[in-house]
Structure 1
Amino acid sequence: MYAKKSLWVAAGLAGAAVAVRMARTPGAASSAHRWLAVTVNCEPEDLRPDKLPSPLQEYGERIETRISAAPADRGTELAVRFRQPPPELARSVPARLAGQDPRQDLRRALRESKALLEAGEVLVPDEPTTHDTPGGKVIGLFSRRASGEGVL
């Protein structure tokens, strides 16, 4: 029985080593420089890089913008990315959990821009109705994190 557990631990450590090596490859570094995109319900000619909504205008020359027709005539694809990728420390897991990853703010600005273009305002959900319990604190943490990552 002990030999089986040792085998599983060794396999897990080998898998972790492969994952760490993959994370440090040049391809993984370029993923930090990928485009963030949303599909907006408007025509491509209605959207211009010099007339973006205010959440994206605040970034000025720090971002690149790409506007194209969405597949299957479903509106316009608005994509943005930083001209210079954020430093690796700013993209770390602790920075993401603390809400200090600059890509989280860019994601939020992109979602707010979509809302402004489609609805004319940014709709904000109500605060969760949780009590000050351990479970409620976990729900609150996930809810705050979701606004930066775009997912819960």
Structure 2
Amino acid sequence: MVAKKFWATAAGLTGAAVVARRARTNQPAPPPANRWLTVTVNRPPADVQADKLPSPLQEYGERIETRVGPAPGDRGTELAVRFREAPSAAAQSVPARLTGNDPRQDLRIALREAKALLEAGEVMRPDAPTTHPTPGGRLVGLLSRRASGEGVL
């Protein structure tokens, strides 16, 4: 009876060690600092040209690289941008991101505005708040501020 408990415990510990080892080795690498920011524009690729981008992206001039190509499944055009030189580590730090000083946040906002201009001809913004404050609305507001305009939490 003692031998069965011993082997059951040993098998359980071995299994746990294998699972822990796999979890450590299968973790994805952190994203590169200078990754491409991409949106899918609901326009044919002929309508989106890298040298004739909307004004939010034109303001970056030669500081950004641009890629334009067909989206998978013929569903529009993929517009991708990134900085030619990666921002400094200090500019990408958590404090810089929380205070809104990460230059990638501004580039992501410019990319979303360019998408809106290409699809609708204008950037739609709400005129006024459409609801009254609720606990759920406060939570959404807190999370939206945490996203810092980048669209991700």
Point out where structure 1 has 5 or more consecutive residues left out of the alignment: 1-17
Q: 1:68 to 1:144 in 2, by over 3 A?
A: same
Q: Which runs of 4+ in 1 moved over 6 A?
A: none
Which residue is 1:60 aligned to? 61
Q: 1:2-151 to 2 correspondence within 5 Å?
A: 28=30, 31-125=32-126, 126-127=128-129, 129-130=132-133, 136=138, 139-146=140-147, 148-151=149-152
- Which of 1 and 2 has greater Rg? 2
Shift of 1:145: 3.9
Distance 2:53 2:37 in 1: 15
TM-score, normalised relative to structure 1: 0.71
Which residue is 1:6 aligned to? none
Shift of 1:140: 3.5
Shift of 1:116: 0.6
TM-score, normalised relative to structure 2: 0.71
Aligned length: 125
Shift of 1:87: 0.3
Shift of 1:121: 0.8
CA RMSD of aligned residues (A): 2.6
Per residue, is there more helix in 1 or in 2? 1
* Identity percentage of aligned residues: 67
Q: What letter corresponds to residue 37 of structure 2 in structure 1? A: L
